[in-house]
Amino acid sequence: MSATAPQHIFLDKQHPAVWRALNGLGLKVRDAAEEAGIDRKTIELLYVRISQINGCAYCLDMHVGDAVKAGETPQRLAVLPAWRDTALFTDKERAILSLAESVTELTDYGTREHNEAEAREHLSDEEFSAVSWLAIAINAFNRVSITSHHPVRQEP
């Protein structure tokens, strides 16, 4: 067994065309969400929550900063893992978070059906689809960054 740390393969660098395609998908998904009426702050909130679930440090570092730039508050970001236990999120945001978590965790059929029905009470068909695509896309980015061991660099 070698005493040196293994060299990690950055998937984005190993196959840049695939990475560019994933980035293109991410941009299309974000555009579709904005066209559906989901604002940038809510998109970033969803990205942060999914990255928390997946444990993606790189994406958390990026999207927490983007969420703050989009107007998200430190308080809401701090309590985001416990969003169900606060009154800080609107019904629509709660529907978005619940649906995004359901897409990420792929829970049992009954739980997914329940979460989707709750989300449908507050989201149009277009919003429901856009939120689902947002969750699918950030899950893909999380998996690339986690598998690649993308580093979080210390800010100056």
pLDDT-derived band at 155, boundaries 50, 70, 90: confident
What DSSP line would sit under 3-27, residue for residue?
SSPPPPP-HHHHSHHHHHHHHHHHH
Do residues 141 and 115 lie in contact, with contact meaning Cβ atoms separated by under 8 Å? no
Do residues 89 and 83 lie in contact, with contact meaning Cβ atoms separated by under 8 Å? yes
pLDDT digit string, tens, across residues 19-32: 999 999 999 999 99
pTM, two decimals, is: 0.94
Residue 48 to residue 138: CA distance in whole angstroms: 9
**In this predicted structure, what is the pLDDT of residue 156?**
86
pLDDT digit string, tens, across residues 89-138: 999 999 999 999 999 999 899 999 999 999 999 999 999 999 999 999 99
Q: Which domains does the chain have, with CATH numbers?
A: 16-148 (1.20.1290.10)
Instruction: Give, for 86, the enclosing helix (H) or strand (E).
Output: none
List all residues 6 or more positions away from 2 whose beta carbon is below 8 Å from its beta carbon: none
Do residues 112 and 120 lie in contact, with contact meaning Cβ atoms separated by under 8 Å? no
Residue 104 to residue 101: CA distance in whole angstroms: 5
How many Cβ atoms from other residues are within 10 Å of residue 61's Cβ?
A: 17
